[in-house]
Amino acid sequence: MISGMVMVFVAIWIYQSAMKAKVDNVMMWVAGGAVLFFTLVFLLQYININILESLRASEGGAVYEATQGADRKNEGDFTGFSGILKSLYEELSPSIISFIAIAFLRLKLITKESFSVANLFSGFKEMFKNIKQSFKTSE
């Protein structure tokens, strides 16, 4: 759910950056960026699931679930402060890492600016201003 919302913002961000940079085939860049973002999120979630499964298997959790017929709830794995951090990492890391990868590709392939943190996320504030303006009605 979070990744889907971020993907919509990434598509708008790429569109506005490509229009500003006057790049040919703007919609191809938008579609390619959205597909790449989705693919990266999917791969990173798959890696996170495998990491969780390997940790639980080393603790004997997977064997218990297989023999006792328990469902896949991790009641004990995500309790306490470390559980909250683990849960936040598993939920947010694919979106954040994919967003940074797309920002880097946008910087190098679309805007062709030099690498800096300010250039990496440039245009993001303007994107939200334009979205906010689109909800205002003219009377």
DSSP 3-state of 71: coil
Total-model pTM: 0.75
Domain encompassing residue 57: 2-132
| Predicted confidence (pLDDT) at residue 60 exceeds the cutoff of 60 | no
The domain tally of the chain equals 1
Give the pLDDT of residue 41.
Answer: 94
Report the distance separating Cα 25 and Cα 46, nearest Å: 32
Contacts of 115 (CB under 8 A, 6+ apart): 107, 108
pLDDT in the model for residue 12: 92
Residue type, 12: I
Q: Which two tokens stand for residue 50?
A: 């495998």
Does residue 138 lie within any of the structural domains?
no
Two tokens, residue 100: 């940074």
Residue 12 covered by a domain: yes
Q: Residue 31 falls within a domain, yes or no?
A: yes
pLDDT band at residue 64 using 50, 70 and 90 as cut-offs = very low
Write out pLDDT tens, residues 11-28.
999 999 999 999 999 999
**Residue 19 is assigned to a structural domain of this protein:** yes
Q: Is residue 91 part of a domain?
A: yes
Residue 139 lies in a domain: no
